[in-house]
Structure 1
Amino acid sequence: MLFKLERNYTFMNKKYVLVILSLFICLLAGCGNRGIPVINQDMLNQKISVLVLSSASVTASASDPISQALNTWRDANGIAYEWVKDLTVLDDNVVSKLKTKSYDYIYVVGNELFASANETMKLGLSSSKWTFLQSQPFAEGSAVVLDNQASLLQVDTQQMETMKNKWIQDLLFQNVAVEWVTQSTRPIPSAWAPSEEADHIVLLDNNPQWYQQLVFQINQHRASWVIFYSPADPAQIQKAKSIGVSVMDFSGALSADLNWTQILDNRLAIMKAHSWQSGTQNYNLQELKELKMK
């Protein structure tokens, strides 16, 4: 009888050790993914599935809430997700995911990714619902060509224009001389630069002498401000700053403080209610905490 008990005890010990080893191996496998779940197609088919793509410029103020929200989506709502971050473009790795896996929703976070995301979406690799989340007010190159597969969440353009207009009016009220730099396709609003002040405007279109002309006009009018109304190359803006006057780049004049926790909570509510809609929408008052001139 004692021999039999010892054999059973030894057998139980071995079984216990095997269980512990199995758990240990699973833990090691999980650590290899740096805490970001990797899901297979079977998991995707069983629940709502999400792919999040965020740009390299997304700061901790956005990435931390994204991480927390995704964990909540998974743990409390049974949503399977993958998150590919620090992207500059949608690369071959992302394209491969779209070819081999099916996602219900794809979120693109960061203006810098919008152009390549547009091109990838046009490939028709996925029937996913794409949502583009602006990380900052509109900048050149961050436009989205929307169709019935895509939604854009952005800062209200009318609110932006109102803020820019107030800033200009406050500046002109001080009777300071302003030189404008733009393209012929983007004329300065007449309320800011009346036609009789055309000699305060410098056009960049095919004008290699724009800098010399700008310097001449600044000296002629004793201007203290240069405003780039159309998007310009950073080198051109830096060159204007070297003149020694104040320079404003209107294409990047505003910054937004976004409430990412609220933004993602609202996306979750939409997924749960199956109420996703294509088209352009503005951040609401809870999602946009502050919009200001830089």
Structure 2
Amino acid sequence: MKIWILRLFSVMMVALVMSGCGHQLPVASEELLKQKKSVLVVTSPDLPAGLDQKLGAALNEWRSADKLAWKWLPQKTALDDEALNSIRETAYDQVIVIGSALFADAMKAAAEFPNVKWSLYQQSPERSPAPIQPLDNTAVWQADAGTYTILWNDWVKQQKLAGAPIIWITTTGNQVPATWAPSEEAEQIVMYDPENPEQWFQQLTFQAKQINAKWIVLYTPEASAELTKIRSLRIPFLDMTASVNYSLNWDPILNGIRENVKTDSWKQGLYTYSENEATAQMK
């Protein structure tokens, strides 16, 4: 009798095992969510034309092809409570911020959430980007400010060889390269003062006559409103801010972000966009 019972029990166990073959046990939705990689994307309102559509298409592709979970907060002028609460409530693999205007807020938030990886992307090139020191949990991508210098080096050298003095119009935030206007030639630099435009123009007129300027070069976009006055001096004029076509190629940049998240290849640091990601040409 005991032997018969043992045999019956064995047959039942085999049947149970066989019935389970080829059927995957259901996974709890919470466990599945934990297995997915997830990112929070925050973008500023001043994205280049078409970038928001390109970003939306990329995010949908990442979700379908890579099973990447994401949340996108567009048109943000600051990392507000909505963004910060989302970081508190969700264990994101990365927070991706696109837009230089959000960098200051992002650095403060990165200090508040040291266990979160932050990736900051400049949305358009700046000749003199604000200096930034990445934290241990931040990676920052910026355009190479030196590109402007490289493009204009030959022209500036030609003027110097020809003995043609240049008056540079700029601001403290847009320093003219020292190789173009060394400190001993300070009289060739005029700092634009939007608070006192008449006094500033008088100073420009005085210095241009003092050095017998052969060129006036606008090195800061802040003074673009004064072009009519500048041209009234009847000195050859060059607007460097409008003479370079510098654009970012977002397809390779977004592909890099995708690969970064997929392969866990995130690394802290300050980076410049590669030649494949940014192009600059003289107009």
Structure 1 residues 171 and 82, CA, compared in 2 at 3 Å: closer, same or farther? farther
Q: Which amino acid aligns with 2:142?
A: Q
Q: TM-score, normalised by structure 1?
A: 0.69
1:117-153, CA deviations, whole angstroms, 9 ceiling, x for partnerless residues? 22222222x6221111122223556443301211112
Instruction: Give the TM-score normalised by structure 2.
Output: 0.71
Q: Deviations over 1:60-110 (max 9, x none)?
A: 332222111100110111110011111222222212212222211111112
Aligned pair in 2 of structure 1 residues 174, 113: CA closer, same or farther (>3 Å)? Answer: farther
- AA of the residue aligned to 1:215: T
Distance between the aligned counterparts of 2:154 and 2:126, measured in 1?
18
Q: Which residues in structure 2 correspond to 1:1-294 (within 5 Å)? A: 45-124=34-113, 127-138=115-126, 142-170=130-158, 172=160, 176-181=164-169, 189=177, 191-193=179-181, 197-203=185-191, 209-220=199-210, 221-228=212-219, 234=222, 236-239=223-226, 242-244=229-231, 246=237, 248=239, 255-288=245-278, 290-293=279-282
For residues 247-270 of structure 1, the C-alpha deviation after alignment (integer angstroms, 9 at most, x for no partner) is 6466x9755322212111122222
Report the structure number with the largest CA radius of gyration.
2
Decide whether aligned partners of structure 1 residues 82 and 162 sit closer, same or farther in structure 2, where only a CA change above 3 A counts.
same
1:275 alignment partner AA: S
Per the alignment, in what secondary structure is the counterpart of residue 59 of structure 1?
coil
User: 5+ unaligned residues in a row in structure 1: which ranges?
Assistant: 1-39
Q: How many residues align?
A: 247
Q: Secondary structure in 1 aligned to 2:259?
A: helix
**Residues 115 and 141, structure 1, Cα contact 8 Å, conserved in 2:** no
What is the rounded CA distance, in whole Å, between the counterparts of 1:139 and 1:113 in structure 2?
18
Determine the C-alpha separation between the residues in 2 that align with 1:135 and 1:78.
Answer: 26
What is the distance in 2 between the residues matched to 1:74 and 1:138? 32
How far apart are the structure 1 equivalents of 2:81 and 2:159?
A: 48
Alpha-carbon contact 1:44-1:103 (below 8 Å) kept: no
Distance change in 2, residues 1:46/1:119 (3 Å): same
- Tell whether the 8 Å contact from 1:112 to 1:142 is kept in structure 2 after alignment: no
Unaligned runs of 5+ in 2: 1-28
